Amino acid sequence: MEIQSATPSTPKAPSRKEALASIQELKLNQIELKNQSAELYSTQAQLDRCHSRFLLIYENTPMGYCILSEQGMILEGNHTLAALLGETPEDLVREQFTRFISTEDQDAYYRSRRHFLETGTFEPCEIHMVTREGTRFCVRLQETAAQTAAGAPISLVSVEDMTTSVQTNARVDMLQAQLVLAEKGQSNEATLEFQTRILAAGLSKRETEILGLVGLGLTSKQIAEDLGISSRTVESHRQSIMKKLEISNGPGLVKFVTAHGFHSDAK
Overall pTM > 0.85: no
* 27-75 pLDDT tens trace: 888 888 888 888 888 888 777 777 677 666 667 788 899 999 999 999 9
Question: What local confidence, expressed as pLDDT, does residue 266 receive?
Answer: 43
pLDDT band for 193, please (50, 70, 90 cuts): low
Question: What local confidence, expressed as pLDDT, does residue 267 receive?
Answer: 43
> Is the confidence at residue 97, as pLDDT, over 80?
yes
What domains sit in the chain, N to C, each tagged with a CATH number? Answer: 62-161 (3.30.450.20), 165-258 (1.10.10.10)
Q: How far apart are CA 78 and CA 108, in angstroms?
A: 24
User: For residues 146 and 159, is the Cβ–Cβ distance under 8 A?
Assistant: no
Q: Which residue has the higher pLDDT, 167 or 120?
A: 120
Question: What local confidence, expressed as pLDDT, does residue 85 receive?
Answer: 93
> Is the confidence at residue 176, as pLDDT, over 70?
no
Phi-psi region of 242 (alpha: psi -120 to 50; beta: other; left: phi over 0): alpha
> Is the confidence at residue 184, as pLDDT, over 90?
no
Mean pLDDT of 226-250: 85
User: What letter would DSSP give residue 151?
Assistant: -
Contacts 24+ apart (CB under 8 A), 147-154: 152/69, 152/70, 153/70, 154/67, 154/68, 154/69, 154/70, 154/75
Question: What local confidence, expressed as pLDDT, does residue 207 receive?
Answer: 82
> Maximum distance among all alpha carbons in the chain?
135
Q: How far apart are CA 122 and CA 110, in angstroms?
A: 11
User: For residues 203 and 211, is the Cβ–Cβ distance under 8 A?
Assistant: yes
Please list the residues that pair with 226 across neighbouring strands: none
